[in-house]
Amino acid sequence: MKALYFDYNATTPVLPEVREAMLPCLENNYGNPSSPHGFGLKAKLTVSEARNRVAALLGAAPEQIVFTSCATEANNGLLRGLFPEKGAHLVTTAIEHPSILAPAAALEARGVEVTRVRPNRNGVVDAQTVLDACRPDTRLVSVMLANNETGAIQPVGEIARLAGAEGYLVHTDASQAVGKIPVDVETLGVDFLTLAGHKLYAPKGVGTLYARSRRTLPPLLLGGGQEGGLRGGTENVPHIAGLGAACELVRNGLEREISRQRGLGEIFDRELDRLARGVGLDVLVLSRDAGRLPNTRFVGFKGLDLARMLEELALADVAVSAGAACHGGETSISHVLEAMDAPADYAGCALRFSWGRPTTEQDVMDLMQRLGDACQTVRSD
Ligand code: PLP
């Protein structure tokens, strides 16, 4: 039985072209980019080529790209750097990834004021509400571009337009959006943007922080002056090379891949509907009426037991994510479901299905077959 991987929002496989780009850096191209000899220069060139490729995908200039170890480092570093002391105000949302929410809570504990804007029932925040939350002492507005659970796309361009016009700095965590939808920093008009390599077929352990102006970005790590002094530490050359190749790969034919993945979504919706009617199940697709990523569906299954569903799907070799966690028989729903006031009888068993470049129509059909079997088994427990 073929394993069915429907968890691309958790992480993606490293594609062959990416691996190919990395291999020389694990073999002969092992120099330190800071070294003043041939080995160093070769590694430096590799990093510089990758930087150009990341910049091209984002519509940025190469010098606006800072490589990090992951999206979490970029988000933490930006927040810590911009709020070094108590006071000042941060505006963010209640549906951010923990890599924003946790440092925001830590800043709050140190005396920074934090406003967390709530989304509507579709899981989307309102741009004007975000602007209304800003105050004269607001130092940063941070709103994710696409939510990792629902796939709901947030109005970041509009937020940047409104908040930028008032002089506020705007950051977007675009970890789930880059590579799935067109993301252009000029069109968005943001000051900072976070990217996670392993969500777009690069390896884990590499990310990027885009900064419109290097002057507004405090150093993420102090050290040997790498990344133009903004992120000390010897560059992870193999991973950076992989990220560059991945960016090049997703940039080519992005529109074609988006429409292919939308097509998979249509099959998913049609077959889910058929499954629900067939076995008399009540399902709710969360953020259904929002603009969503083409690869994501977050589905609540009314009255089904989440732990049993995950067990049955694991037995059927289906990989998905859950929108809730079970602790000793108690189920706690995710902060995203809670913030969007998702109906409790669906939120208790919400599963996230996310697909990617290697996913085929047959995979979606096979998923639905195994999902239907799992639903029936769990219902008859
Ligand atoms: N931001 C978002 C929206 C994410 O979905 C994730 C990962 O799930 C991250 C940040 C953190 O990425 P990483 O674990 O690579 O640091």
Q: For the whole model, what pTM was predicted?
A: 0.97
* Closest-lying ligand 1 atom to the alpha carbon of residue 10: 8
* Longest CA span, the chain: 69
* Closest-lying ligand 1 atom to the alpha carbon of residue 75: 10
The active-site residue, picked from 70, 134, 247, 326, is 326
Quote the pLDDT of residue 327. 65
Give the model confidence (pLDDT) of 85-96 as tens digits.
999 999 999 999
Quote the pLDDT of residue 349. 94
Q: Which among 239, 192, 181, 242 is positioned nearest to 217, based on CA atoms?
A: 192
Q: Which among 14, 43, 17, 47 is positioned nearest to 28, based on CA atoms?
A: 43
Quote the pLDDT of residue 329. 64
Quote the pLDDT of residue 323. 78
Spans of the chain below 70 pLDDT: 324-330
Give distance in angstroms: CA of 376 to centre of ligand 1.
33
Best probe residue, ligand 1, of 72, 150, 354 (max atoms within 8 Å of C-beta): 72
Q: From the CB of 144, is ligand 1 less than 6 Å away?
A: yes
Q: From the CB of 148, is ligand 1 less than 6 Å away?
A: yes
3-state secondary structure of 193: strand
- Helix (H) / strand (E) element for 286: namely none
Alpha carbons 192 and 208: distance in angstroms, whole number: 10
Give the model confidence (pLDDT) of 153-173 as tens digits.
999 999 999 999 999 999 999
Quote the pLDDT of residue 332. 83
Asked whether 149 and 337 are in contact (CB, 8 A), the reply is yes
Give the model confidence (pLDDT) of 307-343 as tens digits.
999 999 999 999 999 976 666 666 788 999 999 999 9
Give the model confidence (pLDDT) of 242-267 as tens digits.
999 999 999 999 999 999 999 999 99
Q: Where are the alpha helices (DSSP H) in the chain?
A: 16-26, 38-58, 71-82, 98-109, 127-133, 156-165, 185-188, 237-251, 254-279, 306-315, 335-339, 344-347, 361-379
Kindly list the structural domains of the chain, giving each domain's residue range(s) and its CATH number in brackets, ordered by start: 4-12+254-380 (3.90.1150.10), 16-251 (3.40.640.10)
Give distance in angstroms: CA of 180 to centre of ligand 1.
15
How many helices and strands in the chain, by DSSP H and E? 13, 15
Quote the pLDDT of residue 225. 96
For the four alpha carbons of 186, 192, 196 and 202, in that order, the dihedral sign comes to positive
What would the two tokens of residue 16 be? 């062959």
Give distance in angstroms: CA of 149 to centre of ligand 1.
11
Note if 375 is an active site residue.
Answer: no
Give distance in angstroms: CA of 146 to centre of ligand 1.
11
Q: Which residue is associated with the tokens 């067939």?
A: 278
Q: From the CB of 78, is ligand 1 less than 6 Å away?
A: no
Quote the pLDDT of residue 108. 97
Q: Which among 300, 285, 296 is positioned nearest to 261, based on CA atoms?
A: 296
Quote the pLDDT of residue 1. 87
Q: From the CB of 287, is ligand 1 less than 6 Å away?
A: no
Quote the pLDDT of residue 9. 97
Quote the pLDDT of residue 328. 63
